A and B are shown apart, each in its own frame.
Chain A
Amino acid sequence: MTKAKQTAQEEFALLELSMDEIVDKVEELSGENVFDCYQCGMCSAGCPLAEEMDLLPNQVLHALQMKDPEAMSANSMWICASCYTCQVRCPKGVDLAKVMEAMRQIYLRKRMDHVSLDGLSHREIRRLPQIAIVASFRKKTG
């Protein structure tokens, strides 16, 4: 098991939530029904960042449907950039970007941030446009 995976699993354990509770929370925060997905795979076919993900977008939904904790320890939600390609193409109208955001929020609302200013050099902070830094911190810190 890679270190990143192990850390992700430890982080999931720190949430102290069952997968039943997680799925309820995801549906409450996103307003989406994860069981609407019938696994056609259109989201993963179009996702520009799918190849970087531990679980493909449709597999994330499948894991949520199966109450499989891997949904919460896979890196997929942190790689998703809310580009909305999946949402405009989903034949079932599932807003997967909102599902991913809900999953991130479950961590972020427990103060488990996934990006830190300490991890950026002064040079990087100066070089990056505000739009990138603000967006990244809005998506990955609580």
Chain B
Amino acid sequence: MNKLEKLTYFPGCTLKDTASDFEISGMAVMEALGYVLEELERWNCCGTVFSLTDDDLMHQIGPVRDLIRAQEAGSEEIITLCSMCYATLKRSSLFVNGNQERLDKINAFMNKEIDYEGKVSVHHLLEVLRDRIGWEKVEERVTNPLEGLSVAPFYGCTLLRPQEIAIDDPDAPTVLQDLTQALWATPIDYAYSVECCGAYQVVDHRDVVIERTHRIMSAARRAGADVIVTSCPLCHFNLSDTQKELVRTIPDYEEMPIIYFTQLMALGFGVEAGKIPASLKAKVKRLQTVKGEG
């Protein structure tokens, strides 16, 4: 077997807990493509949100320390799976890289760390798939074509906004649709794919988030989606949390599976990695049986 190419990987807190299926499936599908996600040693929480006030260097310490960890590991990049970690680390890297005054201040403050040189860049796994591996290679690896499966991509905010960190067109992205097509599934178009789910407002304004996510899921369902695919553990939580509420309150409510893009890849690659909602597994099996008979 060929040697696997290493990618310096930053998991973030949530992938080690509520979003563990994201990490498990991410590692498995990348291995299938010839890569190993090598976890950064001694990483810490990125802070989850980027500090938006210009004078606040204190909240850059967390993410910059992670950039130092990559530098120590001899890597000039960090790859994330979590969209929120991506945005926070990416924005921090842009905030300090090449800005000597900020670097000097932060380095002087962190006197127990080696100086950060400002050379680490941050990328999301979807960028690696699109720009380095390419959809053709992804498609070559498919053993279980997801033909007939309608997929609603849900981008959320932090992969696309603000513009300076967008991995795709902020208003009309295609990266998740392109991945979907590479797996032989059908991407569906609906009005809410780049909308905000309400994010952390779930902590003290849960009703607002429930209303938003209900609208998002209804739109996806009306457009014919079988499954919603995302890359953000907070979007995933909010959509799933709302759905539990809908199941409880609406008679005969039919649940919509909500999965990470790496889980969709695992399905297409025929790789067993982490839990896939039973209804989705059954749906895929049904589609393939129909195809076999046809």
Spell out A's residues near B (CB within 8 Å).
28-31, 48-49, 52, 79, 81-85, 87-89, 95, 97-98, 101-102, 105, 114-115, 119-120, 124, 128-136, 138-140
Contact = CB atoms under 8 A, between A and B. Distances in A.
Given A102-B53, A134-B45, A120 B212 contact: no
A102 B51 CA distance: 10
Contacts of B160: 88
B107 interface: no
6 contacts: A79-B208, A88-B160, A128-B203, A129-B237, A130-B18, A131-B48
B239 to A, nearest CB: 12
B198 interface: yes
B203 A138 contact: no
Contacts of B166: 88
Given A48-B198, A85-B161, A130-B14, A138 B205 contact: no
Interface string B192-205: 00011011111111
Contact of A49 (B14, B55, B171, B208): B208
A116 to B, nearest CB: 9
A115 to B, nearest CB: 5
* Chain B interface, DSSP helix/strand/loop, else mixed: loop
B208 A52 contact: yes
Size class of B's contact patch?
Answer: 35 or more
Given A31-B54, A79-B208, A101-B52, A120 B13 contact: no
A103 B81 CA distance: 31
A85 B163 CA distance: 10
A135 B200 contact: yes
Contacts of A88: 160-163, 166, 170-171
B19 interface: yes
Given A48-B196, A130-B14, A131-B84, A84 B157 contact: yes
Nearest to B14: A131
A95 B162 contact: yes
Contacts of A89: 171
Nearest to A81: B199
